Structure 1
Amino acid sequence: MCDHALPWLVLYAVPGLGPAAYCALLEHFETPENILLQSPRALCEIPGIGPSTAQSISTNRDWTWARDQVARAKDLDIQICTLTDPLYPEILTQIYAPPPLLFAKGDISHCHSPTISIVGSRSFTAYGRETAHRLGSDLARAGITVVSGMAVGIDTHAHRGALEHGATAAVLGSSLDCPYPPENRTLFQQICERGVVFSEFPLGTGPEAHNFPRRNRIISGLSLGTVVVEAGKQSGALITAQFALDQNRDVFAVPGPIYSGKSQGTNSLLSQGAILVQTAQDILSEIEHQSALPPTTEQNEHQPSEQPSLSDREQRVWDALANPSDDATPVHIDTLARAAGFSSGETLNILLSLEIQGNVEQLPGMHFRQKK
């Protein structure tokens, strides 16, 4: 299953040989086997390969380490997918300096379908949680594979939403035998069983800080577009958005309250030209020209129905808005909060989510009603 990756791994372990230099060598010499046959002098003729790197390629050939990686991968049911492997996601080959190797656990074919990444802050609001979950769920229902980083926060809720109706792919900042964060181990297993988890890091690699920007470029690289749900000014999600721009992929952003620091990043993206997202249909409409989407019976799911599909929290607020005699009667936020059993702040965040979905409308004086 992984033996073909041995020469790739030997080259992968060479100190100072990053993805860009690795890809430059492959472009010239075609295979790792050919690269390993070259003299330092021949290697130095390749742009980006200096004398020290060329010497390392010639002398640092740790076949024992490579065989150990293959043996451990087999024991853990992990695939090692090389850049020329038919299973390697084609969309990722199109970025600058794609990872020469991907370690994968699960069904890689999910990333041969249309893909969208959903990212955001680890620190989130109820509004961000509900929005990430809903977008993940609705995109998966439409046949999209949802990609994210399995971090605590927005990533987690996007993955969970996607698992309700379809597949999701996670990209880690650690190796697959050291999944991070530890509190998401159950989610990790669920994604392995019903989606796929990727890492470019060899087995035994912990979650070091410098790994995460590298992970972010793969998240965006695997996706037709990246959706930022909630992000502050310094959020790592903005790094992913920048990678998406650099890779000539669409960047989407969900608007947030202007008074919320957790929405400063997304609102800033919108002011710079990111595509506004209110429902999953906004994303689907934008990418339909890029990839043939699978047939779906949910063509009008962005339009409110008599009984929309809601999360448990949204359902409680929706029910509190219902009036047996007149469904259009507006209800004040404080009345809704008491009826639903949430604080006024939590209720407002849920209402904002429902409003974005087109299920609720706000009237003057903090009154709300169902939108039919």
Structure 2
Amino acid sequence: MEKYYLAALQHVFNLSEGVIGKLLDHFKTGENIWQVSPREIKGSNILSDTQFKYYNDFHRKNTDFPKQLAEKCQKLKIRLTSIHDEDYPPLLKEIFFPPYVLFYRGTLQNDLPRLAMVGSRKITPYGRAAAEKLGRELAAQGVCIISGAAYGVDTECHKSALTIGTTEAVLGCGVDIAYPSSNRKLLDEIAEKGAVLSEYVPGTPPIKTNFPARNRIIAGMAMGILVIEAMERSGSLITVEHGINANRDIFAVPGSIFSPSSLGCNKLIQQGAKLVLDSEDIISEYRDKIKIKTLSKKNGNIEKDFVLSAEEERIYAILKPDIPLSVDDIIYKLHGSSPANVAFLLLQMELRGLVRSNDAHYYRNL
């Protein structure tokens, strides 16, 4: 029950981890804090008069809050992890004031390197193509894509990652709430193959002020942040700021100098973010972390893992989701590969569900 007492305190003090930390130093456990008398809380001199009044009023009216929270989470099949647990995302512990408790549906992907992919809600065709390509290629390399499940770039990154790997969505509301509502099915699929998580108790609505705090978790869980498309004052840049404060790598996809949707990305590159033209620009930074290149395709209830050969990797990297290429084009781009071998590998990759061809035998990746 300890994590439910911590969750209650996190809820009461409106994510003020500094206050909770001081209380824990004094009272040792979340349960002790919740069970001691108001006089002892006040006597600790940790809370200001305003904080004590808020805590005392809430506690008096919601004495059984931790128990009720535990029952609600059990009913909704929502799990909790606290900062003291082994399944708590390890990199998140490194940021200033990490949440003491995370609520989640699914399975946290702590065995995979995580990369945050964020961008504009008002996605352009260029941004969608970039999100689809990079999300799929990175997921194919065994990277867990983490984003915020918002309209636009976030949604496309989650979808592309799910076609071949896994992803995690961090919400600015309770994990039992689908926000945006149009992503309800997507969030359920993410929970099946990855995780949907939040620091907010179940039932918390998507209040505007929750999202900047949500962004610090996205940045904190990831080894780096890739910005696909962002305007000059995009909310994605808040995530970047959190990433910089946490010493995370910053990547950005360049765009047209005439496109307002790319102005934020172009300025990030101007300020020192690494320019990304291909997934290899990111993979090359993490060779020590990304050692196994695995593609995961689900067929019914059977999970199959595929390891790409070097030649298959080259073929997959050449293909695009929106521009089908002929076998001759692929052979030309591979510079010297055997035509018979390329044709054979394309057939094998299509049978494994990694690429698709049309009636004219033009191929694209999935």
The alignment's TM-score, normalised by the length of structure 2, stands at 0.78
Aligned to 2:323: 314
What is the 5 A alignment of 1:123-272?
123-272=122-271
Count matched residues: 316
> 1:102-125: per-residue Cα shift (whole Å, max 9, x none)?
1100011x1342100000000111
Percent of pairs with identical residues: 35
Q: Structure 1 counterpart of 2:315, which letter?
A: S
> 1:110-152: per-residue Cα shift (whole Å, max 9, x none)?
1342100000000111111111111111111111110000111
1:99 equivalent in alignment to 2:108: no
How much does 1:5 deviate?
2.8
Distance 1:191 1:17, change over 3 A: closer
How much does 1:56 deviate?
4.6
How much does 1:35 deviate?
3.3
Task: Give yes or no for contact 1:23–1:100 (8 Å, CA) kept in 2.
Answer: no
Q: Structure 2 counterpart of 1:72, which letter?
A: K
Q: Identify which range, 137-146 or 85-94, moves more after superposition.
A: 85-94
Q: Tell me how far apart the structure 1 counterparts of residues 255 and 160 of structure 2 sit (CA, whole Å).
A: 20
Q: Tell me how far apart the structure 2 counterparts of residues 167 and 304 of structure 1 sit (CA, whole Å).
A: 22
1:285 equivalent in alignment to 2:294: no
Task: Give yes or no for contact 2:141–2:290 (8 Å, CA) kept in 1.
Answer: no
Distance 1:126 1:18, change over 3 A: same
How much does 1:323 deviate?
7.6
1:53 equivalent in alignment to 2:51: yes
Q: Identify which range, 119-128 or 51-60, moves more after superposition.
A: 51-60
Distance 1:28 1:279, change over 3 A: farther
Task: Give yes or no for contact 2:230–2:264 (8 Å, CA) kept in 1.
Answer: yes
Q: Which runs of 5+ in 2 are unaligned?
A: 295-306, 334-366
Q: Tell me how far apart the structure 2 counterparts of residues 203 and 306 of structure 1 sit (CA, whole Å).
A: 41
Q: Tell me how far apart the structure 1 counterparts of residues 179 and 192 of structure 2 sit (CA, whole Å).
A: 17
Aligned to 2:363: none
> 1:190-229: per-residue Cα shift (whole Å, max 9, x none)?
1011110001111111111101111111111110000000
Q: Tell me how far apart the structure 2 counterparts of residues 98 and 306 of structure 1 sit (CA, whole Å).
A: 38
Task: Give yes or no for contact 1:116–1:226 (8 Å, CA) kept in 2.
Answer: yes
The alignment's TM-score, normalised by the length of structure 1, stands at 0.77
Q: Which runs of 5+ in 1 are unaligned?
A: 329-372
CA-based RMSD of the aligned residues comes to 2.7
Task: Give yes or no for contact 1:77–1:105 (8 Å, CA) kept in 2.
Answer: yes
How much does 1:250 deviate?
0.7
Distance 1:306 1:23, change over 3 A: closer
Q: Structure 1 counterpart of 2:283, which letter?
A: L
Specify the SS of the correspondent of 1:116.
Answer: strand
Q: Identify which range, 10-19 or 197-206, moves more after superposition.
A: 10-19
